[in-house]
Amino acid sequence: MRTVDLLVVGAGPAGLCAAQYGARGACRVLVAEMASAGGEMLNIDRLENYPGCRADRGAALAETMREQAAEAGAEFIAGKVRSLAEDGTGGFVLGFDDYGWPAAPDGGIRAGALIIAAGADRKRLGVPGEADLYGCGVSYCAACDGPFFRNKKIFVVGGGDAACDEARFLARIGSDIQLVHRRGAFRAQAAVADRVLKTRAVKVRFNTALIEIRGSEKVESVVLQDTQSGKTSEESADAVFIFAGIRPRSELAASAALAVRPVLDAAGFIVTDQRMATAAPGIFAAGDVRVSPFRQVVTAAGDGAIAAHSAAEYLEGGGRGGR
């Protein structure tokens, strides 16, 4: 069994920054990632709102972050963490399902501290055209892609806080924002819902479901259905922003064999304090997997840096599994 100071689960912006800062803090850092490093950054065609980047591709920034972490001394393995338990001596033992090379060693890995930065999956509508036109007018991030559709006809789908907030954001760059929600009232907090209802550029359409997105090489129209009458209609559109919610990859925290588990909120996000510490000593969380009021590459990176700094302090202070 291999032993490290700090194991980071996930190699999105939070995990990559945590790896770099942890390694620069003289921790032996290992990063476990199921797929390619970068997380949601890999889906960003032009990253215009990250400080210092001018329309860079998200994949390019991800590769730079990975290189910086590796240069600082962090190591990477391809694998999924399938189990987390205490080892009886103050550290953690993690079991792996291997996905590639380099793979996790037989017997798993022992770590003195752990940062869960596994991210979250954006919920899809699952309607025709959604997958085919992703990146060609279909988006799940207004801050990322909204500026490409300035003064265009934009449909926003959803009824929660995110949909209402993002519709208001898009209203700053356009005057024809159609917010469609399949129910007769928002799920968003009353104050959030009230703000979007008062936003002149946003037309709210309740009891309306988006059932298809059409277009050859880009979004050209949408098919809507009245959820009460069942009638359908087709309308022209330049972009569709979908905010059906996100699903945190917090299964590891929920299934961990620990005396004290990380606390999850009602939606499954990991609860942390401002140091990114969870309720379980020695376990930290960063990025989209944790409770947060705002989720962007820049905030995830900040989370990762704070989590690594906190984990290093924890280890230096002689916490469980301390060096």
Rounded Cα gap, residues 120 and 118, in angstroms: 7
Domains of the chain: 2-121+246-316 (3.50.50.60), 124-242 (3.50.50.60)
Q: Which two tokens stand for residue 159?
A: 């009824």
* pLDDT, the chain, mean: 91
What is the mean predicted confidence (pLDDT) over 6-23?
A: 97
Higher pLDDT, 6 or 80: 6
pLDDT in tens, 89-130: 778 999 987 655 555 566 689 999 999 999 998 889 999 999
pTM score: 0.77
H or E stretch including 32?
Answer: strand 29-33
Query: What is the structure's pLDDT at 184?
Result: 96
Q: Is 317 helix (H, G, I), strand (E, B) or coil?
A: coil
Q: Is 224 helix (H, G, I), strand (E, B) or coil?
A: strand
H or E stretch including 241?
Answer: strand 239-242
* pLDDT of 251 above 60: yes
Q: Which two tokens stand for residue 74?
A: 């962090």
Mean pLDDT lowest among 32-36, 61-65, 165-169, 227-231: 32-36
Q: Which of 209, 141, 196 is nearest to 168 (CA)?
A: 196
Yes or no: say if 117 and 40 are a contact pair by the CB < 8 Å rule.
no
Q: Cβ neighbours of residue 27 under 8 Å, at least 6 residues apart?
A: 4, 5, 6, 308, 311, 312, 315
pLDDT in tens, 204-224: 999 999 999 999 999 999 999
Q: Which two tokens stand for residue 321?
A: 């599994």
DSSP string covering 117-159: ---EEEPP---TTTTTTBTTTEES-HHHHGGGGTTS-EEEE--
Burial class (CB in 10 A: 0-12, 13-18, 19+), 13: buried
What is the percent of the chain with per-residue pLDDT over 70, rounded to a whole number? Answer: 94
Q: Which two tokens stand for residue 144?
A: 């990322």
Q: Cβ neighbours of residue 76 under 8 Å, at least 6 residues apart?
A: 11, 30, 31, 32, 33, 37, 66, 70, 102
Q: How far is CA 40 from the centre of its chain?
A: 7
Higher pLDDT, 320 or 155: 155
Query: What is the structure's pLDDT at 79?
Result: 83
pLDDT in tens, 285-313: 999 999 998 888 999 999 999 999 999 99
Query: What is the structure's pLDDT at 24?
Result: 96
32 bridge partner residues: 9, 77
Q: β-pairing, 154-157 with 239-242?
A: parallel
What is the percent of the chain with per-residue pLDDT over 90, rounded to a whole number? Answer: 72
Rounded Cα gap, residues 116 and 81, in angstroms: 10
Q: What is the distance in angstroms between the CA of the first residue and the CA of the last residue of the chain?
A: 17
pLDDT in tens, 254-266: 999 999 999 999 9
Query: What is the structure's pLDDT at 321?
Result: 44
Rounded Cα gap, residues 256 and 263, in angstroms: 11
Q: What b/e readout covers 88-106, taking b as 16+ CB neighbours within 10 angstroms?
A: eeebbbbebeeeeeeebee
Burial class (CB in 10 A: 0-12, 13-18, 19+), 173: middle
pLDDT in tens, 35-65: 788 887 876 767 777 888 875 788 899 999 9
Yes or no: say if 44 and 58 are a contact pair by the CB < 8 Å rule.
yes
Q: β-pairing, 221-226 with 109-116?
A: unpaired
Rounded to the nearest 5°, which phi and psi values hold at 270?
A: -80, 130
Q: What b/e readout covers 185-204, taking b as 16+ CB neighbours within 10 angstroms?
A: ebebeeebbebbeebeebeb
